[in-house]
A and B are shown apart, each in its own frame.
Chain A
Amino acid sequence: MPEPYKRSRSLRRLQVKVSGGRTALHYKKRKPGKAKCSNCETLLKSVPRERPLKMHKLPKTKKRPERPYGGNLCSKCMRSLIIEKARLQ
Chain B
Amino acid sequence: MIEIGRLCLKIAGRDAGLKCIIVDVLDDKFVLIDGETRRRKCNILHLEPLKDTIKIKKKASHEDVKKEFEKLGLKSRETKPKQKTEKPRKKRKTSEQLRTQKEEKKKLMDIFKKKKEDTTGSKVKEKERSGLEEKAGLVEEKKEAKIKGNRPKKGKKKDSEKETKPAKEQ
Contacts and interface: CB of A to CB of B under 8 A. Distances in A.
A79 B12 contact: yes
Interface of B: 9, 11-14, 16-17, 48, 50
Contacts of A67: 12-14, 16
Interface in A66-89: 66-68, 75, 78-79, 82-83, 86
17 contacts: A66-B14, A67-B12, A67-B13, A67-B16, A68-B16, A75-B12, A79-B12, A79-B16, A82-B9, A82-B11, A82-B17, A82-B48, A83-B9, A83-B48, A86-B9, A86-B48, A86-B50
- Listed from nearest, the 4 A-B pairs whose CB atoms lie closest are A79-B11, A66-B14, A68-B17, A86-B9
Nearest to A66: B14
Contacts of A75: 12
B133 to A, nearest CB: 54
A83 B13 CA distance: 14
Contacts of A79: 11-12, 16
B43 to A, nearest CB: 13
Interface in A37-69: 66-68
| Interface of chain A: mostly helix, strand, loop or mixed | helix
Nearest to A70: B14
A72 to B, nearest CB: 13
A67 B13 CA distance: 6
A80 B9 CA distance: 12
Contacts of B48: 82-83, 86
A75 to B, nearest CB: 7
B16 A78 contact: yes
Contacts of A68: 16-17
A83 B17 contact: no
Given A79-B16, A86-B9, 14 more contacts: A66-B14, A67-B12, A67-B13, A68-B16, A68-B17, A75-B12, A79-B12, A82-B9, A82-B11, A82-B16, A82-B17, A83-B11, A83-B48, A86-B50
A15 B11 CA distance: 46
A78 B13 CA distance: 10
Contacts of B14: 66-67
Nearest to B9: A86
Nearest to B8: A86
